Every structure is written in structure tokens, then in C-alpha cells.
Amino acid sequence: MVQTTRRMKYQLLSLIFALIISSCIAQKEVTNELPKASFTTEEAKVHQIIIDLFDGMREGDSAKVHRTFDDRVMMWTSYTNKKGKAILEQGELQKFLDAVGTPHDDVWNEKIRNTKIEIDGNLAQAWTEYGFFVGEKFSHCGVDAFLFSKIDGHWKIISLADTRQRKGCDWE
């Protein structure tokens, strides 16, 4: 009887442990949501700009996306081409807004996780991992590096650089 009780306790503890682990793994995959307690009030405001950007992309709403950026924003993409050469391409805000606002059959869904935000005065930076999906299909992953400035009391993206890769991603 005592052995049976111990075995049941062991099984119950194993089940609880497995549920905790699976919950942690599932939370890692939740997109665009972080526990509010993990950010200060000002960090949460910066994080919300990132959320608004990606919500606007999913909605195909270029006006919503545009509101997250300062018009002087610098945009960069860093990747390695098929020949193994490191490439740095400069983007243009208007081309990006046109692409977002042009109707497309599938939703553009940029999922983020592990966002880190630092602020000093009117300057903030954020670093976040992302996985990009067209509809349900995985496209690529990387890191988004944002630089923000508080302009007229509102945080705006003044620089956005991202990396892109199709292999070695655990978003698929």
C-alpha cells in the first residue's frame, strides 16, 4: 500500500512537472505577448509600438504601420546570399508601406518573442527574435533591432534593422 501511494505521488509529480514544462514551451511560442510585469511602464509603451507595427502588417493597414515610424527612419536588412556573401540592403519606408497596404491573399504574420528593451531618456532600443509567416506558411526568421526616439511625447521607430534566414529557425 505504501509503495502504491509513493508511486502515485511520483506519477502525480511527474505529470505536474510535464505540464509546467509544456506550459513554459507554449509560452515561448506565444506571439506579440509578454507578461506586463516584465516591462516598466515606459518599456511597455515601446513594446506597444512594436505590437502596433506587426498588428498593422497582419491587418494590411499601412496607415497603422506608418504611425509607428518617424518619417526619417533608416531601414536595413542583413543576410547572407546563396553564394555565402554577407549582404546589407537599405530599405525605404514608402516601399514598405506600399507593400503592406497592397492587398495580398495571405496574412503577413510576424511573430516575436524574447523581446528586450532598454531606455535612456528619450532614446530606446529593442531586440526581438521573429518568425515571419505568409498565411500559415513559414517564410523566414531572424532578429529585429529597433531604435526609438520619443518625439512630441510619443515613441517612434527611427531605425529598424533585421536579419533574415530560412534555415536554423525553430519557428517552423
Does 12 fall in a domain? Answer: no
CA distance 106 to 103: 9
Let me know: does 142 contact 165? Beta carbons within 8 Å.
Answer: yes
- 114 Cβ contact list (under 8 Å, min separation 6): 28, 128, 129
Q: What is the dihedral of CA 6, 9, 11, 16, to 10 degrees?
A: -160
Mean pLDDT of 156-168: 96
| pLDDT level of residue 5 (50, 70, 90 thresholds) | low
Q: Residue 1's pLDDT is what? A: 58
137: containing domain: 31-164
pTM: 0.78
Does 156 fall in a domain? Answer: yes
| pLDDT level of residue 171 (50, 70, 90 thresholds) | confident
Name the more confident of 22 and 129. Answer: 129
Other beta carbons within 10 Å of 158: 18
Does 18 fall in a domain? Answer: no
Assess whether pLDDT exceeds 80 at residue 22. Answer: no
Does 94 fall in a domain? Answer: yes
Does 69 fall in a domain? Answer: yes
Does 75 fall in a domain? Answer: yes
Q: Residue 166's pLDDT is what? A: 92
Does 62 fall in a domain? Answer: yes
Q: Residue 37's pLDDT is what? A: 54
- How high does pLDDT run on average in the chain? 85
| pLDDT level of residue 12 (50, 70, 90 thresholds) | very low
pLDDT digits (tens, 9 = 90+) for 41-87: 999 999 999 999 999 999 999 999 999 999 999 999 999 999 999 99
Does 138 fall in a domain? Answer: yes
pLDDT digits (tens, 9 = 90+) for 110-150: 999 999 999 999 999 999 999 999 999 999 999 999 999 99
Q: Residue 4's pLDDT is what? A: 52
CATH code at position 40: 3.10.450.50
User: What domain count does the chain have?
Assistant: 1
